[in-house]
Amino acid sequence: MSETAREWALTQLAQAETRALNPDAREHIVAAREALATTHSTPLVACSQCGREGLPERIAAHECQ
């Protein structure tokens, strides 16, 4: 089964939360998990000329090779 980078990051943060001993650190980890869980990911696009994939603003500015 393949997991996305977002799922991987959420898993890592969940594990970090259970292992954090410092309450302030745990609070920051929880905030990071919540922020990541509620943000929308930008889908990647492909360049019509070279096929390179990336974020829309980067593909618009890249130089085809």
In tens, the pLDDT along 16-44 reads 999 999 999 999 999 999 999 888 777 88
The pLDDT value given to residue 41: 74
Lookup: tokens for 37: 């869980």
Domains identified in the chain, total number: 1
The pLDDT assigned to 40 comes to: 76
Q: Which residues are CB-contacts of 47 (< 8 A; sequence separation ≥ 6)?
A: 53, 59, 62, 64
The average pLDDT across 2-25 equals 91
Confidence class for position 3, pLDDT limits 50, 70, 90: low
Average pLDDT, the chain: 89
Domain span including residue 43: 5-61
Amino acid letter for position 56: P
Q: What is the pLDDT of residue 1?
A: 40
Enumerate residues 6+ apart whose C-beta is below 8 A from 16.
29
